[in-house]
């Protein structure tokens, strides 16, 4: 939700941040931090003809599937998962098997011609998810809201905003998604409400029950209680004339913070979770969780620059947030929600998923805490935002660094995830360059774990230009350079009017990108070499090949241009070599020292389709800038046993070909 616009996950803007002693080991991925986990027995029962890791149904075989040099899709060992008490087991039917696709509903599809996307519009486009072999869809907020922050300012947690439709529209959407084997993940926004919420109006009048539902402090109109600063700039306190006190808002003044030290507030929010779980939703993205609690003492936060005059402390980057983020008790609260959600996960096939959103920048150890502990479950995973920094330095070394930052710190036995774009950050095709969108998608879909795809990334959509008069984003109205509107433009479905987003009226809430006549779903479906076709092929390959889904991930080679790794599975004689050129020039990679690789390697798929089917010598692997290769090879020699310090696996599994079974070994 509230990522500070234009700011980096671990980039130069944050070099002044104070370092904390965390005790986190930054060792090799295979050193124990990666989580080889072998203390339980979990079996995989074979079901020939059904992909091991698909939620349901066979692999797509519709006309237009990308065809490789051998004339068909490649599939490997297959089997169906049998539930077990492990990270992979719990998630396998929801998000471990498929990318999570983020829908920003205002911009996805407008069904009624008012210029704004809606729930019926999402319903109209469900076939798009099936075409991509997407199984899990996260839809950004559609609660009733005054829309000061486009739905992240909630007026009623149990109602649909009329802009997006009705509760019946939601129920119809959810039912049809489930009919098609799709899972729906909602945004849950616990930190604050809208200032138009009933609770806030009762709190400001000091209603006996609701008086302490929000964070209030004595103050006057000219002197806030302390120096705390809002994410959007200036004081995070606003004086309320009705109550005669200031209320805390870590975001907009129209978004007052709830007081989670009040047990009644905690009960209210659990009741809201129950409401939507009973509707049948499959999980929640927990928004802005690090802000949920703040220190009760209200002390001033220390300044980054102690010499700066206090009156000039106006942005969040001027302070160390020792008292307003990641406070003691936060994880107890999240674990309480997790335990409550687990009571709804007892029905077979109805696991309820939980992901946390927390931008912790260089303090990666704080992010890892959202995984929980071996004894107490919390999030299935916290969102991994470090790949958002790929555009800072397009190089193989930088890509490997960002991947290793997560892998080397992730707790034992946990499941990784990867994000390259969302509604708060510039589109990756714009920030990294259109030349790199294909290789970034290849990275996303061949790394271990769960990828997240922001709508439009599958076709290479770019940011739009927004003039000052067109700005809709409240952050942009505060500072036009911080506007998030450019990455929220309407989805480009076709070369029809308004890119097919709205064909009933010539109006859209934000402008459509002018390239929509060539960059759209309809056009790219007809081109086997398009960004869309390659995304679809890679996603299908990922789900149908056990080494890509459940196998070892091993670093093989990294330099200024190329990042290369192996995906392999013990007991299976087929593996994958991934070679990705993130640099600015064509280079030849020499892997002759990697004895586990055969001398001759055939390209299964390349982001440059002219390379498909080529046979390369491992000593001479040529890649152009922005080009990636997926190479499938046969071998009886595994790479991981002799390179444990370069390899990672979440939960070790072995394949037994004789009876077509995958088991925990």
Catalytic residues: 287, 357
CA distance 440 to 435: 10
User: Can you tell me the distance from the alpha carbon of 231 to that of 627, in angstroms, rounded to the nearest whole number?
Assistant: 38
CB 413 within 8 A of CB 87: yes
Residue with tokens 């800072």: 392
CA distances for 128 relative to 300, 347, 509, angstroms = 50, 28, 22
- Residue 145's Cβ-count burial label (10 Å; 0-12, 13-18, 19+) is buried
Q: What is the largest CA-CA distance in the chain?
A: 78
- E-only strand ranges, 359-480: 381-382, 417-419, 450-454
Q: Are strands 283-286 and 183-188 parallel, antiparallel or unpaired?
A: parallel
Q: How far apart are the C-alpha atoms of 348 and 280, rounded to whole Å?
A: 14
Listed residue (518, 497, 495, 519) closest to 508, CA to CA: 497
* Sheet order of strands, 628-634 included: 615-617, 600-606, 628-634, 574-581, 562-568, 552-558, 647-648
Closest CA to 325 of 359, 291, 365: 291
d(CA 301, CA 229): 9
Inter-CA distances, 502 with 25, 123, 375, Å? 51, 14, 50
Residue 647 and residue 404: Cα distance in Å, rounded? 11
Token readout for 107 is 């911009």
- In angstroms, the CA 470 to CA 115 distance is 14
List Cβ neighbours of 378 (8 Å cut-off, separation of 6 or more): 331, 334, 335, 338, 354, 356, 369, 370, 371, 372
Task: Give the angle 206-212-213 at the CA atoms, nearest 5°.
Answer: 105
> From CA 157, how far away is CA 172, in angstroms rounded?
19
Could you write out the three-class secondary structure of 37-89? CCCCCCEEECCCCCCCCCCCCCCCCCCCCCCCCCCCCCCCCCCEECCCCCHHH
Q: What tokens does 213 get?
A: 């539902």
Cα–chain-centroid distance for residue 517?
Answer: 28
């Amino acid at each position: 939700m509230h990522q500070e616009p234009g700011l980096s996950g671990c980039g130069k803007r944050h070099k002044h941040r104070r370092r904390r002693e965390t005790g986190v080991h930054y060792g090799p991925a295979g050193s124990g931090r990666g989580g080889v986990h072998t203390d339980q027995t979990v079996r995989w029962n074979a079901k020939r003809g059904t992909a091991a890791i698909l939620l349901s149904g066979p692999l797509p075989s519709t006309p237009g599937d990308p065809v490789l040099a051998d004339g068909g899709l490649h599939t490997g060992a297959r089997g169906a998962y049998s539930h077990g008490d492990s990270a992979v087991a719990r998630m396998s039917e929801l998000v471990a098997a498929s990318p999570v696709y983020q829908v920003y509903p205002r911009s996805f599809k407008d069904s009624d011609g008012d210029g704004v996307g809606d729930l019926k519009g999402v319903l109209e486009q469900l076939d798009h998810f099936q075409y991509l072999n997407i199984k899990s869809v996260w839809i950004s907020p559609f609660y009733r809201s005054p829309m000061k922050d486009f739905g992240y300012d909630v007026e009623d947690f149990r109602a649909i905003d009329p802009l997006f439709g009705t509760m019946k529209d939601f129920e119809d959407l959810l039912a049809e998604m489930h009919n098609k084997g799709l899972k729906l993940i909602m945004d849950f926004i616990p930190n604050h409400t809208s200032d138009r919420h009933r609770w806030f109006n009762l709190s400001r009048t000091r209603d006996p029950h609701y008086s302490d539902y929000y964070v209030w402090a004595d103050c006057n109109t000219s002197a806030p209680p302390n120096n705390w600063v809002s994410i959007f700039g200036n004081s995070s306190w606003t004086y309320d004339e009705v109550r005669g006190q200031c209320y805390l808002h870590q975001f907009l003044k129209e978004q007052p913070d709830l007081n989670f030290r009040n047990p009644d507030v905690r009960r209210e929010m659990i009741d809201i979770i129950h409401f939507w779980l009973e509707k049948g939703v499959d999980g929640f993205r927990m928004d802005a969780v690090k802000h949920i609690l703040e220190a009760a003492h209200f002390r001033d936060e220390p300044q980054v620059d102690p010499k700066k005059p206090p009156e000039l402390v106006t942005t969040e980057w001027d302070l160390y947030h020792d008292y307003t983020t990641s406070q003691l008790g936060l994880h107890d609260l999240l674990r309480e929600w997790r335990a409550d959600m687990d009571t709804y996960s007892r029905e077979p096939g109805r696991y309820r998923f939980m992901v946390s959103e927390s931008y912790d920048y260089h303090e990666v150890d704080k992010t890892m805490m959202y995984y929980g502990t071996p004894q107490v479950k919390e999030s299935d995973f916290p969102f991994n935002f470090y790949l958002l920094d790929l555009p800072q330095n397009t190089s193989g070394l930088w890509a490997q660094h960002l991947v290793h930052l997560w892998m080397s710190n992730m707790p034992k036995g946990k499941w990784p995830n990867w994000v390259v774009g969302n509604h708060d950050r510039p589109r990756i095709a714009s920030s990294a360059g259109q030349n790199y969108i294909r290789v970034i998608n290849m990275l996303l879909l061949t790394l271990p774990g769960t990828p997240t795809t922001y709508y439009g990334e599958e076709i290479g959509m770019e940011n739009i230009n927004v003039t000052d008069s067109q700005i809709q984003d409240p952050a942009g109205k505060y500072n036009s350079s911080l506007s998030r509107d450019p990455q929220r433009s309407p989805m480009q479905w076709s070369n029809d009017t308004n890119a097919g987003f709205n064909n009933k009226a010539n109006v859209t809430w934000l402008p459509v990108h002018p390239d929509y006549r060539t960059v759209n779903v309809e056009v790219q479906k007809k081109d086997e070499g398009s960004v869309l076709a390659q995304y679809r092929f890679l996603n299908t390959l990922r789900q149908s090949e056990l080494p890509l889904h459940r196998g070892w991930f091993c670093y093989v080679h990294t330099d200024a241009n190329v990042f290369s790794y192996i995906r392999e599975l013990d007991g299976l004689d087929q593996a994958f070599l991934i070679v990705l050129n993130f640099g600015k020039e064509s280079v030849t990679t020499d892997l002759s020292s990697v004895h586990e690789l055969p001398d001759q390697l055939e390209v299964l798929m390349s982001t440059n389709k002219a390379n498909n089917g080529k046979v390369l010598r491992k000593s001479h692997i040529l890649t152009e800038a922005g080009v990636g290769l997926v190479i499938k090879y046969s071998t009886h020699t595994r790479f991981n046993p002799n390179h444990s310090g370069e390899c990672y696996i979440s939960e070790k599994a072995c394949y037994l070909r004789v009876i077509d079974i995958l088991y925990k070994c």
